Chains A and B, each alone.
Chain A
Amino acid sequence: MSFFEALAAGFGLVAQWESLFFLALGIAVGVFAGAIPGMSATMAVALTLPFTFALDPIFGILLLLGVYKGGIFGGSIPAILIRTPGTPASSATALDGYPMAEQGKAGKALGMALYASCIADFVSNIALIVFAGWLAQFAMNFGPPEFFTLIVFSLTIIAGVSGDSLTKGIVSAVIGLLLATVGLDLIFGTNRFTFGNANLMGGLNFIAVLIGLFALPEIFAHVRLPRERDGKVRGLGHVGVAFDELKRCFKSIFRGSLIGVFMGSIPGIGAAPSAFLSYSEARRTSPNQANFGKGEIEGVAAAEAGNNGVAGATLIPLLSLGIPGDVITAIIIGAFMVHDLQPGPMLFQTHADIIYALFIGLIVSSVLLFFIGSVAIRGFRYVADIPPNLLFPSVLVLCIFGVYAVNNSAFDVGVMFAMGLLGYAMVLLRFPPAPFLIAFILGPLLENNFRQSLLMSQGAPEIFTRGPITWTFWALTLLALAFIIRTTVSNARLKRRLREESRRHGEGQDEATG
């Protein structure tokens, strides 16, 4: 089959009302599921899988992809409205999205999240179609040493999400690293900090930590000081995104999309590091740097772009090599296999029509996501108008049930409350939670890849500088460190000068009055 014949056959497969129907249905299911805290995109895809068995292959796969894409965007809705990220990846969205909602700009934040998601999704799909073969080959050069250096570099994000004090950010990250060690050691299989408890052997549940750390402190704060909170009117969040705001964020959205494509094409990284990296890059280069973390719309745009840029790109290793990049694509592979399609290089030859139908379907999905997302936002943004004394108890119920549902485990609910107390203590002491989360996600990857590398080299550290990829990441890490030190020093200087000036000013006043 020639390229054009395959393309035409692909069009034939997609240009049926069923294709569009299942894609739209999938996106709608995904957005809705993603918007429920604790109900992740992964779960939604897993629950949809059995329904695809009876469908035509292309319909089934489009349905699953729709759920996947919708679910990733849907996660940003509770992150913005109630600071309850549905997935780890949308916790970067909460950093600026929730402050915006508190300022009465929920509609704006959700709108920007949708624009950024759709644009990044579109860029990611184009990258998949054009660069799949090339990026897949590149990703195959990533062994444990390359992963290790990539993660070392990613840890420099912590400086970007630490807020006012880098020291506090680092302390927060260290606590995250420490808690990530709970559970079975990957290399030797021994128990670490489990205290003989079978529940702890699996480590601390991700979603429980996430929701405990971000959502519960808000609720605790409200319970403790209800009057102060009640006085604050959140206002109606029904203002959309202005065009010049979108224009201003466009650079960050595009950069975030590219970061997402890169991170997504490497199996095993996932969307969360990508969202945080995109966010911290946007903050670093933005003229509004000081406003990040306090309700900056560009922060929402960058985080969502980094998050959704991954969605199309994770299909690169899936389709071109047959490798699932994350849990969701592993489930999608299952759907391929049910229909006797083996993802991998041969699929392009044996079932080129399916591949092109998928490509066309993916492009359409970005557009459908835009329309379905707009409708969803219109419905969900009223959440921002609910008075706090109704909203917070409902959020608490949702959190408990969401965390319980992940693993059907009451223990996880306990973990969530413990993390909530920790998170609240961190809020009171002004420790930022984002570095904690990044370290919690990246910590195990850092450790495992480090030890796998040393197993490969039998203890010789030279393995960490093998080849150009490791060198590139070491160089990037050094650059990032130099930049962080420079900003820290100049900030300290600026603060000192401000202090001196105000003192001199004060002295001058004293003289005048004295």
Chain B
Amino acid sequence: MKRKIIAAALGATALVTGPALAEYPERPIQMVIPYGTGGATDLSARALSNPLGEIVPEPIVLSNRTGAGGATGSVSVRDADGDGYTLLFARVGSHSVNPAMKATLPYTIDEFRYVGVYEINPVVCAVAEDSDIESMDDLIARVNEAPGTVLFSSSGVGSLLHLAGAMVLDAFGVENPLEDAIHLPMDGGGAAATAVLQGTATFICTNSSALASFVQNEQLNPIMVTTPEPLEGFDAPTARELGHPELEQLVGWTGIAGPADLTDEAASAWEGWLAEAVQDEGFLDFMDQAGSQVDLMSPEESVEFINGQYETFRELVVELDMEVE
């Protein structure tokens, strides 16, 4: 029933024309979103599925399989057939932060075949508007002067926010980032931003999209962005301007992946469809509103990008002893 509804919702545009040829795809394609409805991954996936529905000759069926920071949905795709009828919306949390941090994670990033990373979300660090901290320097000085008084909120252990807070403090020379500053895991990204807004936590580093409205409403004050160029709408210096270009690795992303044994036929078909879908005006508008940069990487670039980010994160996790057993 739900499938039918979704198929009707998305497939209303996906006119199934032409005879069913004996080549991929012959039947509807299931795409797993490993996070809940309404989240960043979900919105991004649903926005992309609008143009995809017109391009892909068979209906696309989106299904949310939530749980365990994306692990439940990821495992379900890893264990699926590589025939191209089950694919995953892979995300920074499920496919680079979690694998770098969690020893008990039931999958590795090598168990997937990546079709393409299609969006990048810059990371912004921000404090409450009424905070007396006004820059990264203020923040670092506070952490060093009064260890244990600065808290940063995240959407849970193993989230990008968790790692970002630690990585930023580490880059700016705080010796024991996770002892001098306290990590406060909240239940989801919305709760994490609220915690800073109402004063429970001191700062937050997260995707610009999650903070855009708070910054525009002058409730939060951005103190750093991780893009190479200044970010529109965020009046804050870039990490490079502050002398830490290495923090440019710290970005969120969404991509499409299949099981490791995904057929070449399916992978190359998707490469083409994705390239066409990311040109769609409606999709580009939506991503722009959400503060994301649409930037389609080829499968090779995607693998290189994901592995590079994983290595950076892994190094930090080992250095700061952040591994979760």
Contact = CB atoms under 8 A, between A and B. Distances in A.
Interface of A: 36, 39, 42-43, 46-47, 49-51, 53, 140-144, 183-191, 196, 198-199, 201-203, 267-268, 321-324, 327-328, 330-331, 333-334, 337-338, 340, 342-347, 401, 405, 407-409, 448, 452, 455-456, 458
Contacts of A405: 1-3
Interface in B1-57: 1-3, 5-6, 9-10, 30, 32, 36-39, 42-43, 46, 50
Given A189-B156, A189-B324, A268-B187, A43 B37 contact: yes
A199 B72 contact: yes
Contacts of A401: 1
A183 B67 contact: yes
B218 A346 contact: yes
A202 B1 contact: no
A179 B165 CA distance: 32
Given A143-B199, A199-B72, A268-B187, A190 B325 contact: yes
Contacts of A183: 67-68
Contacts of A267: 190-191, 194
Contact of A184 (B42, B68, B184, B198): B68
B87 interface: no
A448 B187 contact: yes
- Give the most central of B38, B286, B290: most A CB within 10 Å: B38
B75 A186 contact: no
A303 to B, nearest CB: 25
Nearest to A323: B194
Nearest to B324: A189
Nearest to B72: A202
Contacts of B193: 323
Given A330-B190, A408-B65, A39 B213 contact: no
A253 to B, nearest CB: 30
Given A43-B2, A49-B46, A456-B184, A331 B38 contact: yes
B34 to A, nearest CB: 10
B230 interface: no
Given A198-B72, A198-B75, A330-B38, 15 more contacts: A43-B2, A47-B5, A143-B195, A185-B157, A186-B156, A186-B187, A201-B67, A268-B187, A268-B194, A321-B219, A330-B39, A344-B217, A345-B219, A408-B3, A458-B148
B214 to A, nearest CB: 6
6 contacts: A202-B72, A323-B194, A324-B38, A334-B43, A344-B214, A455-B151
A248 B234 CA distance: 56
B85 to A, nearest CB: 13
